[in-house]
Structure 1
Amino acid sequence: MLRQPAFLRFWLARTLSTAAFQIVAVVVGWQIFTLTGSTLQLGLIGLMQFIPMLLLTIPAGHVADQYDRRSVVRVCQAVQAVAAAALALGSVQGWLGAHGIFAAVAVIGAARTFESPTVSALLPGVVPTESLPSAFALSASAIQTATILGPAIGGALYIAGPTLAYGAIALVFALASLLVGGIRLERAPPAREPPSLATLLSGFTYIRHHRIVLGAISLDLFAVLLGGATALLPVYARDILHTTPVGLGVLRAAPAVGALLTSFALARHPLKHRAGAKMFLAVGLFGLATVAFGLSTSFPLSLVALAVLGAADVLSMVVRSSLVQLQTPDAMRGRVSAVNSMFVGTSNQLGEFESGVTASLLGTVPAVVLGGLGTVAVALLWSRLFPALRDVDDLAKVRAPG
C-alpha cells in the first residue's frame, strides 16, 4: 500500500529536499569555520535558522491548515533553491562573506519553518490511517538516506569549491518542488477556518490540553537541546580527529547510517508493545552515545558512537511523530505540526548555538559530554512527569481524542 505513486513521490521529494539541506549544513559549516576559525560563529549558524523559526512558526501552522499543503511545500522548496543560487553567485563572483552566508541561512530557515510542519501534516493525507506508523518510519528513512548521502556529497563537492556545491543544492531543491506538485491525496484537505487569534494559537492550546502530545514534543526539545553535538563536528573533524572535509561529511552521515537501518526495521516491524517505554530508553541511549562520541579521539570509534546515536534518535522520533499525528485531528495537524517543528528546530538549531557557546566557554569535549549526561537526566525526569506517554503500548491503536 505504501508503494503507491503518491507516497513514492512524497518519499523521493523529501529525500531530495533533506539532502539539499544537509549539503548546505556541510558547506556552510566548513566555509564559516574556514573564514572565521570561531566555534561561536559555528553556533551562530544555528541561531540564524532559529530566529525565523521562532518568529514564523505560528503563521506557518495556520498556512499549512488553510491552503493546499502541496503548494505550500513547493513554494518553500523553490525559495530555498533561490537562496542556494544566490550563494553560488556570491561564491563565483568573490563577494560572499560570513554576513552574506548568515543572511542566506536565515532565508533557508524561514522557508523550512513553513515547509517542515506542512510536510508532516501532508503525509497523513497521502496514505491510509492504518498505514501511518509504517509511513512515518519510511519517511524517516527518507530523511536518513538524505543525511547519509547529503553530507558525503557536500564534503566532496566542497573540495571542488563552494560554487559547485551551492549550484547542486539549488538544482536538487528545484527537483523536489517539481515532484511534490504531482502528489495525489488519499483524502481531501481539511476545510478552511476563518483566521483569528484563536485559530492562530490553537496549536499551542491543543498541545497544552493533551498530555501525551505535550510530553512527546517537549521531550525532544529538552533532550536534543542538551545532547546535540552536530554544530561542533567541524571542530572534531579538524582538531580532534584530524580529518578532511570528506571526513567531516562521513562524520555527519554516520548517525544516519544507524538511523536508516532502524527506520527500515520499524517500517517492516512497527512497535507493537511498550512503544512509550522504548522511546524513553532510546532517548537515554542517545545521551550515552553522545558522551561516548565526546570522549573519543578515534575516528572509527566516533563513527560507531554516532551510528548508535542515530539509531536511538530515529526510534524515539518515529514514536513521537506517530503519536503527535495520530493524536491530532486532520484539521489541526498543520498548527500542531508547526509547534512540533518549532520544538524540534529549537532542539536542533538553538542546540547548535548552545553547543557553540558552551564549547567556547568550557572547551569542546566538556560541552559534548555534559550535554549527553543532561539528555539522560531529561529522559529519566520526563518518564516520571508523563506516565501516560511512558505507558503507550501499540502505536497502531492510537487515535485522536473525540
Structure 2
Amino acid sequence: MFRSFANVNYRIWFAGALVSNVGGWMQATAQDWVVLTELTDNDATAMGVTMALQFGPPLVLVSLTGWVADRFDRRRILMTTQTALLLLAVAVGVLLLSGVMTLPMMLGFAAAFGTVNAFDAPARQAFVSDMVSTGDTSNAVALNSASFNLARMIGPAVGGLLIVAIGSGWVFIANAATFLAMLVALTLMRQNQLAPRLKNRSRGGLAAGFRYVWARSDLRVVFVTVFLIGAFGMNFPIFASTMAIEFGAGADGYGVLSSILAIGSLAGALLAARRDRARVRIVILAAGGFGIVAFVAAAMPTYALYAVSLMFTGFTIVTLLTTANGYVQTTTDAALRGRVLALYMAVIMGSTPVGAPIAGWVADAAGPRVAIMLGGAAGLLACGIGIAWVLTSGRLHRDEKRRFLMTLDETRPVSIIDEVDPVEFSDEAAATTPIRTAKKR
C-alpha cells in the first residue's frame, strides 16, 4: 500500500502536499461560507457562480496549460504557481479583515485562483510520474489522493471552527502560510532522481493529446464518466452547505460534514493504493455506486444520518477519481502525458462551470435534496454508458490474459485497446517505436 514511500522525493512531496492541502481545504470552507452567508443571504446560485469562475479556467486554458506542463520543468512550474496562490490568499485575507470585500471582488479572486490552478493541476499530476517508476505510478497517485482526503478530514473541520473563533479572513492568512510547506518540499527534492525530460514532449500541441484520447475508446469512457460526475455529482460545497442550513447547523456543522465526507474518501484512496493497477471497470462500478448512495443521502431525515451517508459518498467518488487518474497516467504515452492530463483536469474542473450553477439553481428552486438526486442520476447515467461500452467492445467475454496492443497508423498515437499492465508496457517505448501490427500477449 505504501511502496512509493521508498522514494525519498515522494516522501518529501507527500509531507509538503499534506500540509498545503490542509490549508487549501480550510480556505475552501471559508470561501464557500463567506459567499453564502457574509456576502449574500444564503444564495446558493451565487455560490455556484463562484465555483464556476474558479473551475472554469482549466477548461478555457487547456490548450496552453497542457503544453506548459509538457514543455517546461514541472518543479519550477509548481514553485511559481504555489507562490502565486500564496499571494492571492494573503490578498483575500487582508480584504476580508479590513471589511472591504464585496461579492464582485470575491468572484474576481475566484477566477484568479482558478487561472493559477489551471497551470498548477496538470503539472502537479504529471509530476507524480516524474518522482516514481512506471510500475509505482498508480500507487503514488492513490497515495496522493489519500493525502488530499486526509487533509479534507482535517481542513474543513478546522476551517469551520476557525471561522467561528477568529473570522474567515484569518483562515485565508493561515492557508497562505501552509503554501510555504510545499515550496520548502520542492526546494529540498533531489533533482537528479527525477525522471529525465523527453525531447519530443512539446511536439503536436493539444491536438495531439486530443487525437490520442479520441483514438482510445477506454479513455473516452473514462472522460465521459468523469465529466458527468464532475458536473452534477461533485458539487459538495453546495450540497453540504445547503443541507447544513436545512438541518439548522452553522459554519462548524458545515465543516464537520466536509470532514466526514473525507473519511470515506480516505478509505477509498487507501483501497485504491492496494490494487496492483487501475482498471476501467472499477471506474464504471464506482459511478453506479455513487448514483445509488446519492439517492440514499437525499432521503436522510436527520443531520446525523446525512453525515453517515456522506462517508459512502466520499468512498465511491474517490474510488472513481483515483482509479481514473491512475489509469490515465499509467496507460498514456509519456510524451503526451502532460497534455492528456491537462485534458483530464479540464474535464474534471471544467465540468463544474456547467453543473455548479445548475445545482445551485436547483437547490434554491426545489431544495438541496433534489439537487443531490440530480447528481445521483448523473452517476447512474455514467454507469449505464460504461456498461454499454463493456458489452459492445467485447471485453465482457475476453480472457483477462488476452490483451492486444494496436496502432492505427504512423501518424496517430499507439492505441491501447485493453487494460495494459504498466510494468510490461513501456510508455517511453510507445513514444518512440510504433507497433505496426496487432500483437497478442
When the two structures are superposed, what TM-score results if normalisation uses the length of structure 1?
0.92
State the partner residue of 2:220. 214
Of residues 299, 303, 312, the one that matches 1:299 is 303
2:61 alignment partner, SS class: helix
> Equivalent residue for 1:361?
365
Residue of 28, 36, 52 corresponding to 1:33: 36
- What is the aligned partner in structure 1 of residue 4 from structure 2? 2
The equivalent residue for 1:232 is 239
The match for 1:117 is 122
Question: Partners of 1:57 and 1:24 in 2: how far apart?
Answer: 25
Amino acid at match of 1:374: A
Shift of 1:105: 1.4
Q: Higher relative contact order by CA 8 Å / sep ≥ 6: 1 or 2? A: 1
1:348, CA displacement in angstroms? 4.0
Shift of 1:62: 0.5
Counterpart for residue 111 of structure 2:
106
For this pair of structures, how many residues does the alignment match? 397
Alignment partners' CA distance in 1, 2:11 and 2:262 = 20
Kept after mapping to 2: 8 A contact 1:358/1:367: yes
Task: Write the deviation string for residues 95-138 of structure 1: whole angstroms up to 9, x where unpaired.
Answer: 11111211111111111111111111111110111112211211
Q: 1:65 to 1:299 in 2, by over 3 A?
A: same
State the partner residue of 1:351.
355
Aligned mate of 1:163, from 169, 175, 197: 169
- Equivalent residue, structure 1, for 2:158: 153
**What amino acid does structure 1 have at the position aligned with 2:105?**
G
Residue 65 of structure 1 and its aligned partner are, at CA, apart by 0.5
Task: Report the Cα distance in structure 1 between the residues aligned to 2:78 and 2:267, rounded to whole angstroms.
Answer: 27
Q: Does 1:179 align with 2:185?
A: yes
Q: Distance in 1 between matches of 2:231 and 2:424?
A: 28
SS at match of 1:2: helix
1:329-362 alpha-carbon deviations (Å, 9 max, x no partner):
2221111110000011123454322211222333
CA pair 389-244 structure 1, distance change in 2 beyond 3 A: farther
Which runs of no fewer than 5 residues in structure 2 stay unpaired? 397-417, 435-441
Instruction: Give the direction of change, closer, same or farther, for the CA distance of 1:81–1:386 in structure 2 (3 Å limit).
Output: farther
Report what 1:190 is aligned to. Answer: 198
- 1:15 corresponds to: 18
How far is 1:396 from its partner? 5.2
The alpha-carbon distance between structure 1 residues 275 and 170, as it changes in their structure 2 partners (threshold 3 A), is same
AA aligned opposite 2:64: P
Determine helix, strand or coil for the equivalent of 1:280. Answer: helix
TM-superposition CA deviations, 1:273-293 (whole Å, max 9, x none): x93323311111111111122
Change (3 A) 1:398 1:321: farther
Aligned partner (choices 264, 282, 286) of residue 282 of structure 1: 286
User: Does the aligned pair in 1 maintain the 2:70–2:202 contact within 8 Å?
Assistant: no
Change (3 A) 1:397 1:241: farther
Q: Which moved more, 1:382-391 or 1:116-125?
A: 382-391
| Letter paired with 1:114 | F
How far is the alpha carbon of 1:148 from its aligned partner?
Answer: 1.1
Is the partner of 2:248 in helix, strand or coil?
Answer: coil
Determine the C-alpha separation between the residues in 2 that align with 1:376 and 1:49.
Answer: 27
Check whether the contact 2:49–2:353 (CA below 8 A) recurs between aligned residues.
no
In the TM superposition, what is the alpha-carbon distance from 1:140 to its structure 2 partner?
1.0
Identity among equivalent pairs (%): 22
Shift of 1:389: 10
Aligned 8 A contact 1:46 1:350 in 2 = no
Shift in alpha-carbon separation, 1:296–1:162, aligned structure 2, 3 A = same
Task: Pick the structure with more helix per residue.
Answer: 1
The equivalent of 1:370 in structure 2 is 374
Letter in 2 for 1:83: L
Provide the rounded CA distance (Å) in 1 between the counterparts of 2:421 and 2:225. 18
> Are the equivalent residues in 1 in contact too, given 2:287–2:316 (CA < 8 A)?
yes
Instruction: Tell me which residue corresponds to 1:251.
Output: 257
Q: Aligned AA for 1:257?
A: I
Which residue number corresponds to residue 439 of structure 2? Answer: none
2:265–2:318 contact (8 Å) kept in structure 1:
yes
Alpha-carbon spacing, 1:200–1:224, altered in 2? closer, same or farther (3 Å) = closer
Alignment partner of 1:76 is 2:77: no
Q: Deviation of residue 297 (structure 1)?
A: 2.8
| Structure 2 residue identity aligned to 1:13 | G
Question: Gaps spanning 5+ residues in structure 1: where?
Answer: none
CA contact (8 A) 1:53 1:109 kept: yes
* Secondary structure class of the residue paired with 2:4: coil
Q: 1:85 to 1:390 in 2, by over 3 A?
A: farther
Q: Report the counterpart of residue 205 of structure 1 in structure 2.
A: 211
Partner of 1:96: 101
